[in-house]
Amino acid sequence: MADVPTAADMPMLGLGTWENEDHDQCAESVRTALEMGYRHVDTAQAYRNEDAVGEGIAAADVDREEVFLATKVWISKLSHDAVLASVEDTLDRLGTDYLDLLYVHWPAGDYAPEDTLPAFDHLQDEGTVRHVGVSNFEPRHVDRAREVLDAPVFANQIELHPLLQQAALREYAAETDLNLVAYSPLARGDVFEVPELTDIAEKHGVSEARVALAWIRQLGVTAIPKATSEAHIRDNWGSLSLSLDDADLETIEGIDRTDRHVHPDWAPAEWD
């Protein structure tokens, strides 16, 4: 079994569950991943699969304490009292009494730093949440969150892949000791259609998915690719054994594209 590198105590390869809405399929993919060696599972209130994720964790032959479990509070639940009530429901669905990482899903909707973030502090103080995170935040949002929170901002989860390399956010994270977590790290399958990635994949005898995930890891960023089949879960896991050389990294860095797949109406103004 491959060793999973960690960022702080967060495994740098996890299983994403966005759009994994079939209950039985989701539970089975979580169980399969954990028994394969994954120790990081990511979900969200908005994914409507927390109960299935919890079922998969319970079914796996892995102790809960070995699993880094992360979820996110949706934008309509970000008032102080709604955070506390919704997280209680989340814990019930997941079948756990604590979360390793709890994110603000977007700086949007009911999000107001002075109202929202003290609830996150409260959850950490009482031991319900080990780490506080944010998602889809730009530097100005993270700076403001840091001003309000007593807890450190542990991570920012963002869309990041070879076609959206997020150089500015990566630089900011490096300068401020902030972990980055990449969602949609395979660009929703588009990495399979990029000639530069195909050339690197053929050179190493691996898939384009493994190339993209290895590149993200070598940047020091955690990746949480969604996968449902055992074959895809295993292929992503194989990225841990791939080391890209300087020429590979330079080639990927030279891919001059900004292909954003997630851009809802409430996204930060910087995205326009």
List 38, 47, 103, 183, catalytic entry: 47
pLDDT of residue 227: 97
Rounded-to-integer distance, Cα 164 and Cα 149, Å = 29
Percent of the chain with pLDDT over 70: 99
Q: Is the pLDDT of residue 149 over 70?
A: yes
- Tell me whether residue 38 is one of the annotated catalytic residues: no
pLDDT of residue 2: 60
pLDDT of residue 272: 84
155-207 per-position pLDDT tens digit: 999 999 999 999 999 999 999 999 999 999 999 999 999 999 999 999 999 99
Cβ count near 18 (within 10 Å) = 17
Confidence of residue 53 (pLDDT cuts 50, 70, 90): very high
Q: Is the pLDDT of residue 3 over 80?
A: no
End-to-end Cα distance, the chain: 43
Under 8 Å between Cβ of 233 and 212: no
Confidence of residue 150 (pLDDT cuts 50, 70, 90): very high
Q: Is the pLDDT of residue 28 over 60?
A: yes
Torsion of CA 86, 87, 91, 96, to 10 degrees: 180
Percent of the chain with pLDDT over 90: 97
Q: Which two tokens stand for residue 249?
A: 């990294």
Confidence of residue 4 (pLDDT cuts 50, 70, 90): confident
195-254 per-position pLDDT tens digit: 999 999 999 999 999 999 999 999 999 999 999 999 999 999 999 999 999 999 999 999
∠ Cα 6 106 12 (to 5°): 10
Q: Which two tokens stand for residue 210?
A: 């493994």
- H/E element holding 142? helix 139-148
